[in-house]
Structure 1
């Protein structure tokens, strides 16, 4: 049984449909990436998962329980980190961490201290003095100090510097290795790519693509940089080739991955001197989905 599952999740606010038949499944020991632009429906989905909003239609279960009617018991086993953390201004960071950990029934002081050190947080300062990044650190330390079974992370690294992002990524991977499940909503596509086993892309309230990264990469293009003994003729006419740029003796271009074999075979006729290939990234995939208009010859919109 999945740890978290939504089936045909629909949420309407009056006549506006915020979510339209969203299906998500997060399994034990899995990191699920939930990506999409602002306004796509990510935060609405997460509020329904947390039992803050009630779905208009569809089923939402966490640990096999209904997310709305069993919200209290579910919250005993989940940790949530929002993208904009608000804390009690007169409490210290350490006091807030202790409060959150105790609410979940835990008291692992050694883990708490180790995480405070890793995130370079001063827990003695009042929360009103913290920067946005430090407020995020408080929430992350509190979340990873608890022995949760499911982590729901909504833009959790907002405001963190790159060094702290790396600490966060290590914590996620450690939780995964411990058999925990993570739902990660993020705009940082490189982060999603490093951490996630499967990804769901939401657009205008609908999941428009989901699956493992390897399953989804057939929709993206591979970047090639080549140099040949002879000039490559009619490259723009070869099916699957896009965005050709010439610089000196080198040509860079993109290739629809399913056409890669044919393109390599074609350019090899001109005597390959140099060939560099960069695999498609999640960012390529994301941009393909959100290109407003597909230009002529740029392939099908997915």
Structure 2
């Protein structure tokens, strides 16, 4: 049964499959990205990130499945959608001998017109010399040109494939600031990246893909809860390790006496409510939970997915 396109969803993909001959590149990929959110799309090289993006934009035809952008088909309504989208491919390039300024001005005309002031503003922000030709630029500066052409017409939806590849840490932070400004304007960003720190700093939700299949899709905070965290609780009286070992989500409990303090250490694989309630029955001096970052979550979920496919 066909899905009903929703104009309140910037991206809707249902059961996407893409095969190259007998080799599956994507298998039953489902994505829903709401208008106004930043969606991080994570996966290692070869996981299917770029293929997914090309299918979303109708640059590749899926073997099966459906895609809509703002409730419209990118195949049937590509011309109308083009001005609403800013796209940075992983292999962005400009051919010809014109200056970067002239090239961007020409691209701007194709998108309904972009002011010289807007181009100059973004170039200053990313420290880009507009007078040079694209072929004269370093890898990092070529990436800046790609960012400018994606952002310059203030699109409703930005689809960015490895946007900060080749940028130094300062300019990566400026990119993060720009993405947060776009979100504040109510626009949407689909950010495909292997740099977990920038996804963690910007994304409302994250999707993880492995071997052409979605591994997980959730908020960053919810995904963190699925990762194993280290916990240390200091008590002012003796406690029984067995009391805590029986709790849900609690693993590897040890209790040691250290200078008149009883220190419980354990691993937490899920919500902490049961552990906190049990600890509250005793006089607690300190409670510390090591919160995992997105990299820990990424590694844990990929291990789970690998185990599931053995």
Shorter chain as normaliser: what TM range?
A: 0.7 to 0.9
Q: CA deviation at 1:213?
A: 2.5
Q: 3-state DSSP class of the match of 1:19?
A: strand
Kept after mapping to 1: 8 A contact 2:56/2:74: yes
Which of 238, 242, 256 aligns to 2:269? It is 256
Kept after mapping to 2: 8 A contact 1:42/1:185: yes
Match of 1:284 in 2: 296
CA 1:243–1:74: 2 relative to 1, 3 Å: farther
1:202-281 alignment runs, 5 A limit: 202-225=209-232, 240-241=249-250, 254-258=267-271, 260-264=272-276, 273-281=285-293
Q: CA deviation at 1:245?
A: 11
Name which of structure 1's ranges 157-166 and 225-234 shifts more when overlaid on structure 2: 225-234
CA 1:49–1:275: 2 relative to 1, 3 Å: same
Q: CA deviation at 1:156?
A: 0.5
Inter-partner Cα distance in structure 1 for 2:206 and 2:106: 33
Deviations 1:218-273 (A, max 9, x none): 31233335556689885996664568999xx6887542232x34445667889755
Inter-partner Cα distance in structure 2 for 1:205 and 1:56: 13
Inter-partner Cα distance in structure 1 for 2:297 and 2:116: 42
Match of 2:158 in 1: 151
Q: CA deviation at 1:110?
A: 2.1
Q: CA deviation at 1:58?
A: 1.0
Name which of structure 1's ranges 223-232 and 179-188 shifts more when overlaid on structure 2: 223-232
Match of 1:33 in 2: 40
TM-score norm. by structure 2 comes to: 0.82
Deviations 1:66-91 (A, max 9, x none): 22233333222211112333232633
Q: 3-state DSSP class of the match of 1:66?
A: coil
CA root-mean-square deviation: 3.2
CA 1:81–1:234: 2 relative to 1, 3 Å: same
CA 1:274–1:113: 2 relative to 1, 3 Å: same
CA 1:131–1:253: 2 relative to 1, 3 Å: farther
Inter-partner Cα distance in structure 1 for 2:114 and 2:273: 57
